[in-house]
Amino acid sequence: MTVQKLRARVIAAALIAVCATLPAHSQTDPAAALFGGTTLIDLRLRFEDVDLKTRTRRAYANTLRARIGFVTGDYHGFSALVEGDFIGHLDSGHYNDTLNGRVRFPVIADPDMAALNRLQLNYATALTPAAATLGRKDLNIIAGRQRIMLGDQRFIGNAGWRQHEQTYDAVSVADTSIPATTLTYAYVAGVNRVFGPASPMGHFDSNSHLFNAAYTGFGPDLAIEAYDYLLDLRQVPLLSTASYGARFTSTIPIAPDLTAQLNGAYARQTPYGANPLQFDLGYYLAEAGLSWAGLSGTAGYEVLGGNGVIGFSTPLASFHLFQGSAEQFLTDPPDGVRDLYGRARYAFPLPAISGNAAATVVYHSFRADHVSLAYGDEWDGSLEAFFPNGTMLGAAFGDFAARGGGFASKSAFWLYAGYHY
């Protein structure tokens, strides 16, 4: 059976199952549901400057993203969403956008495009009498092109830092009918990547299964999560893997306004789908922090194993959130990565303009896991301010200093403004 036929059958089966649960009587007028929805507007203007020592030219780009969409009202539990991304550059293009052939420049992966971002049919209903009594819907099914973000997005995310986000052609089911528990399953038939539909790297055909279970029943200060992500990515079989593991986050009150955080994760990864290699690689994370008023500090150690041939991979992650904002580890090296980091953050109000702001500084020390080798060090920082009218302003930088392992020094700087409605 071809991937296209399998994709069509899975989506059709999901829609039939959803339709079978329809109530006998209309809950709302169809026209009111269709036209009584909500307009979605997400704008972002960004200046990005990148200096990579292996390129002869320094890159800079001024790009504007207009993400415009509409979500309908509810009809018998159904709703629909459509959304497009419209991205253009406001200068002469002094960067490699992965499509313009300007390879003397470093990559800034925000090519011009007018592309479908999301197109999905949603169905939500109450599974339990308690949920129905409270007017709460504890079963949610989404079919179509959608955003999927699981856990902390270390494995499955939307790569939202780029102007065109990563979305999934999928059927996903989220069940919250068990107290303090969220069960999520998604069948992914395609991955729409940040490079856009015109790029040969812009889409992965997929036959992947995502399982995630989260539980908060121990109390509000402890959450645990277990997962099994079975990735079968046809264009990149070496990235087809089975990753299973667990993660916990905790908050420990110490004194008024003073809390401690302890977080951890562990996972194993083996080949899956058409991956021809044999491996069994580990991942673990240990993190501890303190927060007092708006000030917080965190120390962490994250390890993605390697065996000298292949490294632990997370190809669908939101990469900008991990291993440095300079993004030198988009593909994990065969010898793996050990990331020892420290983070300081200060959040403060802006009473004169009714907003809030946060300043963050992060230091990373990167080393290989399989051999004794230093990759480099990195300093990252950001300053962001958010305002009640939906606007925000921000500045950020990442500065990676290479030490070995075939990596090159890289620095990046961003100025950005956004509006969300």
Torsion angle defined by CA atoms of residues 143, 34, 68 and 166, in that order, rounded to the nearest 10 degrees:
-10
| Per-residue pLDDT at 28 | 58
Find the mean pLDDT for residues 4-20: 41
In this predicted structure, which of 136-140, 157-161, 337-341, 393-397 has the lowest mean pLDDT? 136-140
Using the 8-state DSSP alphabet, how is residue 165 labeled? P
**pLDDT reading at 13 higher than 60:** no
Backbone angles phi, psi at 305, to 5 degrees: -70, 165
Residues 241-270 have a mean pLDDT of 96
Alpha helices, DSSP H only, in 171-295? none
pLDDT band at 108 (very low <50, low <70, confident <90, very high): very high
Question: Span 405-410, mean pLDDT?
Answer: 94
Instruction: Residue 52: name the closest of 412, 420, 413 by CA.
Output: 412
pLDDT digits (tens, 9 = 90+) for 169-192: 999 999 999 999 999 999 999 999
Residue 415 burial (CB < 10 Å; 0-12/13-18/19+)? middle
- pLDDT tops 60 at residue 16: no
Cα gap 357→306, rounded to integer Å: 39
End-to-end CA distance of the chain: 43
* 283's tokens: 């991942």
Q: Residue 26 — very low, low, confident or very high, per pLDDT cuts 50/70/90? A: very low
Helix (H) or strand (E) holding 134: helix 129-134
Residue 336 has pLDDT above 70, yes or no: yes
The pLDDT tens digits of the residues spanning 191-238 come to 999 999 999 999 999 999 999 999 999 988 999 999 999 999 999 999
Query: What's the DSSP call for residue 237?
Result: G
Average pLDDT, rounded, for the chain: 92
Nearest alpha carbon to residue 338 among 379, 380, 286: 286
When pLDDT is averaged across residues 8-24 and rounded to a whole number, the result is 39
Question: What pLDDT, on a 0 to 100 scale, did the predictor assign at position 24?
Answer: 34
User: Cα 265 to the chain's mean position, in Å?
Assistant: 17
Two structure tokens written together for 144? 């179509």
Q: What is the percentage of the chain residues whose pLDDT exceeds 90? A: 84
User: In this structure, what token pair is assigned to residue 410?
Assistant: 């890289």
**Average pLDDT, stretch 29-55?**
90
- What pLDDT digit, counting tens, does each position of 232-246 carry? 999 999 999 999 999
- Is the confidence at residue 35, as pLDDT, over 90? no
Gyration radius of the chain over CA positions: 22
Percent of the chain with pLDDT over 70: 93
| Least confident interval from 13-17, 44-48, 375-379, 402-406 | 13-17
Confidence of residue 130 (pLDDT cuts 50, 70, 90): confident
In this structure, which topology does domain 3-420 adopt according to CATH? Answer: Porin (2.40.160)
* Cβ proximity of 289 and 296 under 8 Å: yes
Q: Which helix (H) or strand (E) holds 8?
A: helix 3-19
Q: What would the mean pLDDT of 368-393 be, rounded to a whole number?
A: 96
Phi-psi region of 275 (alpha: psi -120 to 50; beta: other; left: phi over 0): beta
- What is the identity of the amino acid at 398? G
- Among 107, 86, 99, smallest CA distance to 164 is for 86
